[in-house]
Amino acid sequence: MPKLDESLLTGLPPFSRLGRAQIREILYQAAVRRYDAETAIFREGHEADRFFLLLDGYLRVIRTTPGGDQIIVLHISPGQLFGIAPALQRETYPATAMTAAESIVLSWPVRLWPVFTERYDGFASESYRTLGARLGQIQQTLTELATQAVERRVAAAVLRMVNQSGRKTDRGIEIAFPVTRQNISDMTGTTLHTVSRLLSGWQRDGIVESSRRHIVVTDPHRLMLISTDQDDRP
């Protein structure tokens, strides 16, 4: 394994209270791997033998419904832990982690989880805070699927990606990772045709610019109004 610099973890919430010597201990026990885009790091139901930290890239977290459909329930940004099945007292992964872009990942054997939570100040509290936030986001997504109209769901999904990864450009706010219309369909429980129709309509209205794998939100305020069912279009 190539030598990793302590600065990779310094300041990240699970390790922000640790000194350089402790971070060196953690990195010494880590495996590092680069994944191509659209690669499964682990799959739902498989044995949870490692836990992970995303150094660079973006991930999609995918759950399978009882009917066999796959839904993208959230995205994970750089600097976050994932695959933390031990925090749920599970022996298998509760979802699939799929790279949305080329990604670099650290991982540790699951036997080190109790060691980390006991030995490293702040690791346990930040891990459980992350877990709580994700469970809340998943619940919000499932509630939207059950209760909201399709256009509102799609607008909310696009805004979540913007809030998580958006970067300003001269055209508007661009989602930082590749996203297809099929991805949005999988996030919102609707058809590819419906997502294509909505994005095409929003593009005509000057709300978004959408290409094959990229979305730029050119009018975030109007998209927010749609997501809250307060669309002010004529």
98-154 per-position pLDDT tens digit: 999 999 999 999 999 999 999 999 899 988 888 888 888 888 887 887 788 999 999
- pLDDT of 1 reads 45
Considering the domain architecture, whether residues 158 and 72 belong to the same structural domain is answered as: no
Q: What pLDDT was estimated at residue 216? A: 95
Residues 64 and 115 in one domain: yes
The parent domain of residue 215 ranges over 148-227
Query: Is the domain of 45 the same as that of 95?
Result: yes
Long-range CB pairs of 174-177, under 8 A, 24+ apart, other chains included:
174/214, 174/215, 174/216, 174/217, 175/214, 175/215, 175/216, 175/217, 176/58, 177/57, 177/58, 177/75, 177/100, 177/101
Q: What is the pLDDT of residue 230?
A: 64
Average pLDDT, the chain: 90
pTM of the model: 0.84
Where is 189: in which H helix or E strand? Answer: none
The pLDDT value given to residue 233:
53
Q: 132: how many CB neighbours lie within 10 A of its CB?
A: 11
Question: 162 and 72, same structural domain?
Answer: no
- 143 lies in some domain: no
What is the percent of the chain where pLDDT is above 70?
Answer: 97
- Number of domains composing the chain: 2
- pLDDT, mean of each 10-residue run, the chain (234 residues): 75 89 93 96 97 95 86 90 92 95 96 95 89 83 82 93 88 91 91 95 95 91 88 54
Res 209: pLDDT? 94
Percentage of the chain beyond pLDDT 90 is 63
What's at 50, amino acid-wise? R
Q: Report yes or no on 209 lying in a domain.
A: yes
Residues 172 and 103 in one domain: no
Examine the domain organization and report whether 25 and 132 are in the same domain: yes
According to DSSP, residue 142 is labeled: H
Among 79, 112, 138, identify where a domain stops. 138
Q: Comparing C-alpha atoms, which of 64, 200, 187, 96 is closest to residue 137?
A: 187
Task: Answer with the one of 117, 138, 159 that is the final residue of a domain.
Answer: 138
Residue for token pair 């302590």: 6
Report pLDDT for 140.
80
The whole-number pLDDT of residue 2 equals 54
CA distance 146 to 42: 28
**At 40, which CATH number?**
2.60.120.10
